[in-house]
């Protein structure tokens, strides 16, 4: 039986029979203070050392085409046949991988500087993000910071943003990192990656809503640590109620917004979220690739700026729980994924941006399946 943790209570106790977890939740590590929390806001929380891992990694899956080389597998989009689209930092950047693990299609050759963010609209078109370079470089000047829309056959239909311009505007992006499609067909784009080039806008992190034709509707949020503010929003997913889950990574939290992108709640017990996926039954999968690692961040980050150790005391891996009540059920250790996806067949797909050469999968994409 898992203990309940009321929002605002800063200590947790491990499950019966396990050692007491006497960790005090410092800034960035505990649920948001709320002395008026209702019973509906109670969250079940569990120390990862007490959670089971019901998954195993498939070795040597997938296989790239001859001549292709691995790059960071940042964004993944399963199709519930066992295959998936993968956006990675190599050429071509957007690839379809069938259930057997073979790459059967590749599109977007030479178009993207830094792959980041992938979603499919109601017409089956693919939206692929280019967050732009993480630092200033002559080789990438005048490129990046865009969203590209492709047909299912790979035809470029639309490019949003101005290449090489990192600014928060109605026709420009700081650096798009993720996208998700609302029930009405609108596209929600997370904007603002850390690290980012010194020449780019250093604040203004936000969410942008556009039509499926690319018309700007609104931008919400700003850089900050409060409710509805963001610091490096890194992934997006809708649940069955139409609520938007935002991986507010540099704030070490998930923010939950309503259909109008207004703040509902925040959860800090899923680690430092790099990727989020929500399945049809509201199973929530969250990847943590940065906890404990020294990575660049803004001065306003909970751990400070520079290359500080992020979200100390938390373990990298995949946390699996419920988007309905925030309960945690499983933890998959031994992996450091940013890209996160799952399908209705029970498969989990994890995209690595580091340690690809050491992965038993043979590269930057991992497929995890239920243990039999």
pLDDT tens-digit series, residues 321-352: 999 999 999 999 999 999 999 999 999 999 99
pTM of the predicted model as reported, rounded to 2 decimal places:
0.88
Whether residue 154 has pLDDT greater than 90: yes
* pLDDT attached to residue 33: 35
The dihedral through the CA atoms of 333, 335, 336, 342 has a sign that is negative
Task: Give kind and range of the element (H or E) at residue 328.
Answer: strand 328-332
- Domains in the chain: boundaries: 1-50, 59-370
Q: How many residues does the chain have?
A: 372
User: With left for phi above 0 and alpha for psi between -120 and 50, is residue 369 left, alpha or beta?
Assistant: beta
115-120 and 103-107 beta bridge pairing: unpaired
Specify burial of residue 123 (Cβ count, 10 A radius: 0-12, 13-18, 19+). exposed
Token pair 């009321």 is found at 6
| Window from 33-37, 154-158, 238-242 with minimum mean pLDDT | 33-37
- Alpha-carbon distance of 13 to 321, in angstroms, equals 18
* pLDDT attached to residue 37: 38
pLDDT for 216-275, tens place per residue?
999 999 999 999 999 999 999 999 999 999 999 999 999 999 999 999 999 999 999 999
| Window from 7-21, 27-41, 198-212, 283-297 with minimum mean pLDDT | 7-21
Mean pLDDT, all residues of the chain: 89
* pLDDT attached to residue 313: 94
Please provide the CATH number assigned to the domain covering 59-370: 2.120.10.30
What backbone phi and psi angles, to 5 degrees, belong to 319?
-100, 135
Name residue 106's beta-bridge partners.
Answer: 95
* pLDDT attached to residue 48: 81
- Alpha-carbon distance of 309 to 294, in angstroms, equals 4
* pLDDT attached to residue 46: 53
Whether residue 82 has pLDDT greater than 70: yes
């Amino acid at each position: 039986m898992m203990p309940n943790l009321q929002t605002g209570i800063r200590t947790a106790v491990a499950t019966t029979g396990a050692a007491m977890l006497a960790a005090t939740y410092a800034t960035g590590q505990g649920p948001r203070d709320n002395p008026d929390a209702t019973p509906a806001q109670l969250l079940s929380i569990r120390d990862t050392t007490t959670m089971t891992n019901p998954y195993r990694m498939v070795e040597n899956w997938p296989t790239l085409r001859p001549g292709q080389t691995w790059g960071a597998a940042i964004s993944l989009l399963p199709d519930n046949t066992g295959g998936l689209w993968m956006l990675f930092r190599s050429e071509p950047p957007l690839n379809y991988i069938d259930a057997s693990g073979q790459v059967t299609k590749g599109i977007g050759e030479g178009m993207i500087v830094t792959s980041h963010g992938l979603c499919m609209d109601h017409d089956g078109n693919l939206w692929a993000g280019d967050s732009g370079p993480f630092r200033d470089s002559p080789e990438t000047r005048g490129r990046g910071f865009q969203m590209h829309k492709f047909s299912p056959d790979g035809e470029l239909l639309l490019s949003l943003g101005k290449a090489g311009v990192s600014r928060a505007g109605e026709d420009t992006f700081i650096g798009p990192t993720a996208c998700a499609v609302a029930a009405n067909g609108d596209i929600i784009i997370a904007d603002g990656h850390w690290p980012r080039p010194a020449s780019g806008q250093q604040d203004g992190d936000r969410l942008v809503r556009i039509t499926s034709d690319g018309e700007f509707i609104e931008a919400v949020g700003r850089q900050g640590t409060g409710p509805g503010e963001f610091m490096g929003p890194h992934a997006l997913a809708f649940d069955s109620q139409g609520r938007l889950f935002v991986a507010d990574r540099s704030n070490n939290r998930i923010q939950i917004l309503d259909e109008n992108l207004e703040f509902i709640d925040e959860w800090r017990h899923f680690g430092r979220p790099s990727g989020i996926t929500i399945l049809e039954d509201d199973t929530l999968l969250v990847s943590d690739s940065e906890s404990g690692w020294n990575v660049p961040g803004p001065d306003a980050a909970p751990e400070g700026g520079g290359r500080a150790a992020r979200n100390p005391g938390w373990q990298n891996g995949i946390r699996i729980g419920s988007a309905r009540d925030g309960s945690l059920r499983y933890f998959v250790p031994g992996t450091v994924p940013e890209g996160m996806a799952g399908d209705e067949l029970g498969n989990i797909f994890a995209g690595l941006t580091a340690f690809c050469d050491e992965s038993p999968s043979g590269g930057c994409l991992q497929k995890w399946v239920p243990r039999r």
